[in-house]
């Protein structure tokens, strides 16, 4: 049932591209991800059918770009900035801490669906580096220790919410 609804969303995007060729692939991927938060295997296959492309081709193009993700975003979506300023101020350690705590890599979602992790190039607030963004709240000057605190906080919050 759920997947039917999801496919309908994909089909709704495809309706805007009735006679499209492979050159329409990226805008279609972007719109599907905008609606669904990620590109599900079903969506990749459906888009491929529409454009007469094998799923491997669609997946190959999508993985080339950083903007596409292939697992559903978690309840709390965490973005870690790895731009130059953040890097200089130690964002590598922050990212590593979060990966260790959540046991996921960038682009992945925890099995319980609570957290997902994404690396972004620059949030545009370099003066506050290193930055992370959780549920669209920005956290400035994050050290590994501070990151741990923030994650623990959200772990509690997401549990009580859920």
83 or 106: CB nearest another protein:
106
Among 3, 21, 35, 41, binds another protein (CB under 8 A): 41
The 8-class DSSP code of residue 126 comes to: G
In angstroms, give the least distance from the CB of 65 to another protein. 8
Our finding on whether 59 is near another protein (CB under 8 A) is yes
Applying CB under 8 A, among 16, 21, 22, 54 the residue interacting with another protein is 54
- Assess 129 for contact with another protein (CB under 8 A): no
Contact 48, 55 (CB under 8 A): yes
Told to check if 55 binds another protein by CB under 8 A, we report yes
- Residue in 16, 60, 100, 135 binding another protein, rule: CB under 8 A: 60
Residue 24 burial (CB count, 10 A):
16
Q: Which of positions 69-128 make contact with another protein (CB under 8 A)?
A: 70
Three-class SS state of 73: coil
Return the residue of 24, 37, 38, 57 that touches another protein, per CB under 8 A. Answer: 57
Q: At what angle do helices 144-161 and 91-102 cross, to 10 degrees?
A: 40
117 exposure class (CB count in 10 Å sphere: 0-12, 13-18, 19+): buried
Residue 38 touches another protein, criterion: CB under 8 A: no
Q: Candidates 40-48, 79-87, 128-136, 139-147: pick the segment binding another protein (CB under 8 A).
A: 40-48
Q: How far is CA 130 from the centre of its chain?
A: 19
- Does residue 21 touch another protein according to CB under 8 A? no
- Per the DSSP assignment, residues forming a β-bridge with 132 are 80, 139
What does the alpha-carbon distance between residue 98 and residue 142 come to, in Å, rounded to a whole number? 11
């Amino acid at each position: 049932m759920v997947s039917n609804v999801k496919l309908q969303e994909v089909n709704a995007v495809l309706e805007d591209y009735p006679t499209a060729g492979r050159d329409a692939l990226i805008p279609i991927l972007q719109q599907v991800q905008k609606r669904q938060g990620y590109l599900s295997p079903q969506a990749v296959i459906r888009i491929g059918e529409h454009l007469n492309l094998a799923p491997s081709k669609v997946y190959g193009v999508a993985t080339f770009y950083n903007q596409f993700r292939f697992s559903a975003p978690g309840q709390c979506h965490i973005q870690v900035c790895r731009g130059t300023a953040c890097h200089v101020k130690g964002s590598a350690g922050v990212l590593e801490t979060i990966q260790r705590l959540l046991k996921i890599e960038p682009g992945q979602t925890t099995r319980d669906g609570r957290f997902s992790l994404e690396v972004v190039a620059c949030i545009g607030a370099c003066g506050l580096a290193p930055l992370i963004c959780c549920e669209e709240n920005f956290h400035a000057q994050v050290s590994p220790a501070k990151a741990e605190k923030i994650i623990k906080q959200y772990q509690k919050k997401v549990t009580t919410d859920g």
